[in-house]
Structure 1
């Protein structure tokens, strides 16, 4: 069911956005649903079997018993504390993104130091899932992280930026809708993602085999480079009116005409995320 965008929720999320924040629930859930509709029956059974053990995660506050709930589990757990008041999952905060400067040559090495970036974690999760000797709890966690992180990688401002925390430091206006503290990152996370997903035919469907093969081709590094390029060619170019590498002003405006032009690119990123997640789930569980 397509949900209406609630302005109150939009304001709250815009006010708390960070580089580790991800697609709003709608974006992650859509990526997950596309994947689930396009994996093999064996992989689908594997997903269900693992998520049926999600109680092993020890996070009753954050469900992961369906592919939709698992898709947002990695965000839900961020505020959880242990008995001493320390973050239980603070080690994973940097796993949601990789801020590679769009105005320099593409290079994952600095962004992925010590493996603390989204692309490295995607590859790690696939390996954990493929290894049947991995303990059940670790496999369930790897699955939940994988479902979420593939969505994150296909939000372009999780893949490329201008040393501005993935656009979080860029205050922005969004057409006629301008809640306080809205920024470029939160626009791509939520407002634009919502509009893209609800525009035109549903993205959640079984895609032809040739389309699946074409979209899902390549490596995680290839996908990282592509998403980084979308950040350069689309997200920052639109925000800055042409040259994405000119100095960024304190505030940018995305008018309605610009937003309409961004919708196809945002829609394509969600589709790519879903079909690529399907490929990885097939490789890991199918």
Structure 2
């Protein structure tokens, strides 16, 4: 039994970071859908067709099982940043890139009228995903514990790691579907919240996540109801802010971008 527990713990620590589980990413995408401008909504529809942002939000994680080198190596670092201080600096980005360099690259693609349609679709899906990632505090790590993946804990008695608790444990513990959870959160987003959170600078999102990250490491690794109660409101707010900011960012991107149809003709 001891060997089995140790094996389970080692597997949990080795689990790659995904940043919000599927439910969390779908929530941010669904909230974003509700806050798109008419112009952004039209561009998203031209690029994705019937695929909404809730579906697009999980796509970069869904593709991690694709054996292609692009997904196994090139795209792997684009889900997180490592911040050595309290403020992200360009020098923090490794040679292979990170979420910030990827966001800049995909933004340029989405605004380029000459970019092929498939490249724009890839860019849009990644932008939605990356913004959600940057609002999960352990995807803005200090570089000393793999974003909490190396912090072994138990969650209601089951061995796991702190990153997994924040990706999915705290969200799934509510026993809500993503649509139910979205409805609950959306009802609590006031107009003044949308105005206050209308922040397109990713450096601000990262600063917020770092400040929160510093408060979430437990002194007792046995996590259950107390930990869930302490951090439930923080999880909810990061999901709400992430969704509002995905919309704010896309509204800005498409303000000056050429219509997506210009790429579709190529």
TM-score range normalised by the length of the shorter chain:
0.7 to 0.9
**Structure 2: gaps of 5 or more residues:** 1-8, 256-266
**2:114 maps to what in 1?**
133
Measure the CA separation in 2 of the matches of 1:28 and 1:210: 23
Measure the CA separation in 1 of the matches of 2:55 and 2:200: 28
Match of 1:185 among 144, 156, 163: 163
Q: Is the 8 A contact 2:138 2:163 kept in 1?
A: yes
Map 1:190-229 → 2, pairs under 5 A: 190-195=168-173, 198=176, 202-204=184-186, 207-217=189-199, 219-229=201-211
Structure having the higher helix fraction is 2
Match of 2:82 among 72, 95, 99: 99
Structure 2 residue 28 is matched with structure 1 residue 31? yes
Map 1:69-148 → 2, pairs under 5 A: 69-82=55-68, 86=69, 88-101=71-84, 104-114=85-95, 116-148=97-129
Measure the CA separation in 2 of the matches of 1:200 and 1:65: 17
Measure the CA separation in 2 of the matches of 1:68 and 1:217: 20
Distance 1:165 1:16, change over 3 A: closer
Measure the CA separation in 1 of the matches of 2:182 and 2:54: 22
Give secondary structure in 2 for the equivalent of 1:173. strand
RMSD: 2.7
Measure the CA separation in 1 of the matches of 2:110 and 2:46: 12
Give secondary structure in 2 for the equivalent of 1:240. coil
Match of 2:134 among 150, 153, 165: 153
Give secondary structure in 2 for the equivalent of 1:50. helix
Q: Is the 8 A contact 1:35 1:274 kept in 2?
A: yes
Q: Is the 8 A contact 2:28 2:240 kept in 1?
A: yes
Measure the CA separation in 1 of the matches of 2:104 and 2:225: 38
Distance 1:284 1:226, change over 3 A: same
Figure out how many residues of one structure are paired with residues of the other and give that number. 242
**Structure 1: gaps of 5 or more residues:** 1-10, 53-63, 242-251
Distance 1:197 1:265, change over 3 A: farther
Measure the CA separation in 2 of the matches of 1:114 and 1:47: 31
Measure the CA separation in 2 of the matches of 1:134 and 1:202: 38
